[in-house]
Structure 1
Amino acid sequence: MTSSPVSSTPVLRTALTWGGIVAGVLAVVGALIGYAVSGGDGVASALVGVLVGGFFSAVTAASILIANRWFGDDLYVPIFFGVVLGGWILKLVLFIVALVLLRDQPWIDTTVFFLALVASVLGSLVVDMVVMMRMRIPHASDVSLPTDPEAGDRTD
């Protein structure tokens, strides 16, 4: 796979990788706490809460990575915003559907589910913040400056 010329690609890939690691850790911790609090229902509730939170947190970064594949195309900007906006709309619809489907399930402990969901979202936000703070990207990236037409291409 060739590297993308878009400077945000490594940042988003790192955020997705660490987000997956944090979601895995939260799933294990949530399952243990869920089992201690509510038995098997607590385990299922914690796992579903972390899964929902992790999935919806990853959709935005994934949609930007997908949209960046069209970088350099004349239609890059409309494609980029169409893909990212489509991802957000998909997230909204799927989140509402997930909550409606999970609302009356007898195996859901709502407190464990809610706390696992909140922990997953907060973990994702912390990962995004740390990744953004540690990545070194120039302030003016993805820009090529024009050359002086009278001087030609200088090499000095």
Structure 2
Amino acid sequence: MTASPISSTPILRTVLVWSGSVTAALLVVGGLVGYLVAGTDGLWSALAGVLIAALFLAITAASILIANRWYGDALYVPIFFGIVLGGWILKFVVFLIALFVLRDQPWVVGPVFFLALVASVLASLVIDVVVLMRMRVPHVSDVELPTDPDAGDRTDEPGATR
């Protein structure tokens, strides 16, 4: 059996591309607003907030894309969940490191950091909704139907009527 492409792969790739573009825009806008509100400290706080949110949101999509490479393998399901769970553990470790590193930094302006983080998460949610609404994915995906009538679960004889 040959591995067929998984229907979530183009969706996740599109989400990552759009998220990268929106992250770049948020870095510029957030940095500018942070600078205008709180000077250089506000600039760095906004940049840190946007980058942390973008990193966390990209880890999930990237881990699913990486795990999808094993589609068709007999061990696909445990590999998939192992990689996705590993991504969540990685996010937790990165969160703890960021928390401990950033909590006592004098350049972090709390409200600017928080608002940049929230704006990035909201933008990511909007991207997810827009991409999912625009992608054309069949209701039943990742399924191969038999083309030979003798290969299916046929219960009636050819030419018989019900």
TM-score (norm 2): 0.87
RMSD of Structure 2 on Structure 1 (CA): 1.4
Bigger-Rg structure (1/2): 2
Match of 1:154 in 2: none
Share of identical aligned residues, percent? 67
- 99-108 vs 139-148, greater mean Cα deviation: 139-148
SS in 2 for 1:68: helix
- 32-41 vs 142-151, greater mean Cα deviation: 142-151
2:62 aligned partner, one-letter code? A
- 95-104 vs 58-67, greater mean Cα deviation: 95-104
Structure 2 runs not aligned, ≥5 long? 153-162
TM-score (norm 1): 0.90
Residues 114-146 of structure 1, C-alpha deviations (whole Å, 9 max, x = no match): 110111111111101110111000011110124
2:150 aligned partner, one-letter code? P
Measured after TM superposition, the shift of residue 89 of structure 1 is 1.5
Measured after TM superposition, the shift of residue 150 of structure 1 is 6.8
Q: What is the count of residue pairs matched by the alignment?
A: 148
Match of 1:42 in 2: 42
Measured after TM superposition, the shift of residue 85 of structure 1 is 1.1
Match of 1:149 in 2: 150
* Alpha-carbon separation, structure 2, partners of 1:20 and 1:102: 24
1:149 aligned partner, one-letter code? D
* Alpha-carbon separation, structure 1, partners of 2:5 and 2:27: 35
* Alpha-carbon separation, structure 2, partners of 1:132 and 1:81: 22
Match of 1:85 in 2: 85
Structure 1 runs not aligned, ≥5 long? 152-156
Match of 1:23 in 2: 23
Measured after TM superposition, the shift of residue 54 of structure 1 is 0.5
* Alpha-carbon separation, structure 1, partners of 2:88 and 2:32: 32
* Alpha-carbon separation, structure 2, partners of 1:73 and 1:61: 20
